[in-house]
Amino acid sequence: MLCPAKINLGLKVLFKRPDHYHEIESIFLRINWGDEIEFIPNDLGIARLFSKNELNGVKHALFEEVSERGDFSRNILFKTFVKAKQIKPDLHGVDIRLTKRIPPGGGLGGGSTNAAYLLSYLFRDFPELQDSVREMSSSIGADVPFFLLPGHAHVSGIGEILRPISIASGTGILVIPPFSINTKDSYISLKKPLQSEWGQKSWSLLDKDFSFALERGDWSKLREKFENDFEKYAFGEFPELEALKQDLYRQGSSFVSMTGTGSCVYGFVEGIEKSRHIQQWMTQHYPDSYFIQFSF
């Protein structure tokens, strides 16, 4: 089954909390591209991974380090199974067959989507435990609660406060550069103080014009509304990312942004033919990056 990636439509870091997590606000969009994952029960009482690594370059090496060919105990799937057993110790074991396409350090939620789909599988027959699973899921990864739910969502808190949101369907181009960005370094670069009253103002999602623009997919109108706070740091470290963003706009994308803490960038494009044209141009000018057409 598809284990989908997500992209961020805007990402604000409002302030650093006393518990050292960061209060954020974003809109998460689930896209129709990602990993392939399959679960097969085993009688061993353990989780085993059987993976096919389709990543390239440094991203290939990063996943190998935590695959079954490296140290699987460092993999989010291993950690998820351990936490799941704490909720229900008599869970059967599981063999996980994973085709890995979502790059680490890309801002696409690759580990979190894998973890969420494993939790959904393990607890599919235990509806009475769903609340416990949701509460536990944010301790695995901030994006995991989102992937436990269908559709798109407005996300706040540290990622655990979710509000389903209606967004017009669309198409786009995802750019996977040949490098990753460290999430911890990205947050350090913001240097947000602890005082919550200092934080940025959140988006006014109750604003009717704002909601209407999202439902219509009026992306050009919303360019200034949705900004990713991590772009300044990422573009300073990797100027190629800013060039990618500007070229996606020049070629006709209606909205372009980095997703998450990076390094991936996406552009919304009106129409499949236009998307193909932009992809061809970008591939010629950025041969080291990988380009994927997606819909949402």
**Chain mean position to CA 139:** 16
For residues 79 and 66, the answer to whether their CB atoms sit within 8 Å is no
CATH 3.30.230.10 maps onto the chain at: 2-163
Cα angle 139, 142, 143; round to 5: 125
Tokens, residue 104: 């680490």
Out of 12, 100, 143, 229, the active site residue is 143
For residues 172 and 270, the answer to whether their CB atoms sit within 8 Å is no
The DSSP letter of residue 228 is B
CATH 3.30.70.890 maps onto the chain at: 168-295
Beta strands (DSSP E) in the chain are 2-16, 22-42, 47-53, 93-100, 153-157, 161-164, 171-176, 255-258, 265-269, 290-295
CA–CA distance, 91 with 122 (Å, rounded to integer): 7
225 is catalytic: no
100 is catalytic: no
Out of 6, 16, 100, 245, the active site residue is 6
- The domain made up of 2-163 has a fold known as Ribosomal Protein S5; domain 2 (3.30.230)
168-295 classified as CATH 3.40.50.720 = no
pLDDT tens per residue across all 296 residues of the chain:
999 999 999 999 988 888 888 889 999 999 999 999 999 999 999 999 999 999 999 999 999 999 999 999 999 999 999 999 999 999 999 999 999 999 998 999 999 999 999 999 999 999 999 999 999 999 999 999 999 999 999 999 888 899 999 999 999 999 999 998 988 889 888 877 766 554 456 655 546 777 888 888 898 888 878 899 999 999 999 999 999 999 999 999 999 999 999 999 999 999 888 999 999 999 999 999 999 999 99
Verdict on whether the full-model pTM lies above 0.85: yes
Give the HSE-up count for residue 79: Cα atoms under 13 Å, Cβ half-sphere. Answer: 18
